Amino acid sequence: MLGGVSDVLPVLETYYDTAPRTHARTEEVGPFTLFLKQGAGWDYYARPRLGFTGEITSADVDAVRTRQRDSGVAENLEWVHETTPSLLAAVTPSGPPDHPVLSVAQCPLLVLPADPSLVRGSGRRVDADVTARVRTVGLDDDLDRVFGVIHAGFEGTDTVRPRASTRQVALMREGLLSVVAASDRHGNVVGGGSHSPRDGTTELTGIAVLPRARRRGIGAAITAALVDDALDRGVKTVFLSAQDDTVARVYQRVGFVGVGTACIAEPA
């Protein structure tokens, strides 16, 4: 799965370019590909065009942000710093008139190593006082509840409100999204996560656990279940972006290795 950084980063760039195209149309704006949603759902982002190797300037960033505003979508940019190192400096001074300042999150980018046994099946057992039942969920499950739990986990609250899962259901029907949920001994969902396979590569996203169920190995169990599901689907490259270095260390303990920095620029 993982050779050197120079080997894996082009694989990830291809994935980033491929993944949104099933439900987005694209426009080329200077050195960027702008992904625009089709129908309802979340806004996408602009990324450096696949294969682009030149320098990106603040004027380039201003132009794509202006096009995003004219299109009525969020002024979001995403990229891998090691692939497009000039973009970070270009984003910092960017700011067309009346546009919000962009804040850049720099997230550790991690990939599963060549030996999947380092992660596959690990983390399934948790502390004795909690029995986490971790499984891949299907279309007959209460997906609104599962995504409500994931959202609450990211918000840092135990108060769960169901979240509409219409978009996720559509992706699951097409085989483009797989979802895992973890339940406690009483059958209550306490965490979950997902991955999105495309042409032999998948990204693990949305892995979250309710505060009341943390520090019991449930996040590792969810990660292992997602990896198992991905490998069973024939995926060769499994990767994720961690929120920060502290979270990255959790994934490193179950076998993932760092290969770069995923940058996300959004209005502050």
pLDDT given for residue 6 in this prediction: 55
Contacts of 27 (CB under 8 A, 6+ apart): 33, 34, 36, 67
pTM of the model: 0.89
What does the radius of gyration of the chain's CA atoms come to, in whole angstroms?
19
Reduce the DSSP state of residue 32 to 3 states and report it: strand
pLDDT given for residue 130 in this prediction: 52
Write b or e for each residue in 212-228: b if 16 or more Cβ atoms lie within 10 A of its Cβ, otherwise e: ebeebbbbbbbbbbbbb
pLDDT given for residue 210 in this prediction: 97
Phi-psi region of 159 (alpha: psi -120 to 50; beta: other; left: phi over 0): beta
Per-residue pLDDT reduced to its tens digit, 104-120? 999 999 999 865 555 55
- Parts of the chain with a pLDDT under 50: 3, 122-126, 128-129
Contacts of 98 (CB under 8 A, 6+ apart): none
Task: State the Cα–Cα distance between residues 228 and 235, nearest whole angstrom.
Answer: 10
Cβ neighbours, 10 Å, residue 161: 12
Q: In what order do the strands lie in the sheet with 201-209?
A: 24-29, 32-37, 46-48, 77-80, 257-267, 102-111, 237-241, 201-209, 189-195, 178-183, 133-136
pLDDT given for residue 119 in this prediction: 55
Cβ neighbours, 10 Å, residue 146: 27
Element containing residue 58 per DSSP (H, E): helix 58-70
pLDDT given for residue 96 in this prediction: 73
Per-residue pLDDT reduced to its tens digit, 63-107? 999 999 999 999 999 999 999 999 999 998 767 778 888 999 999
Task: State the Cα–Cα distance between residues 238 and 242, nearest whole angstrom.
Answer: 13
191: which strand partners?
182, 209
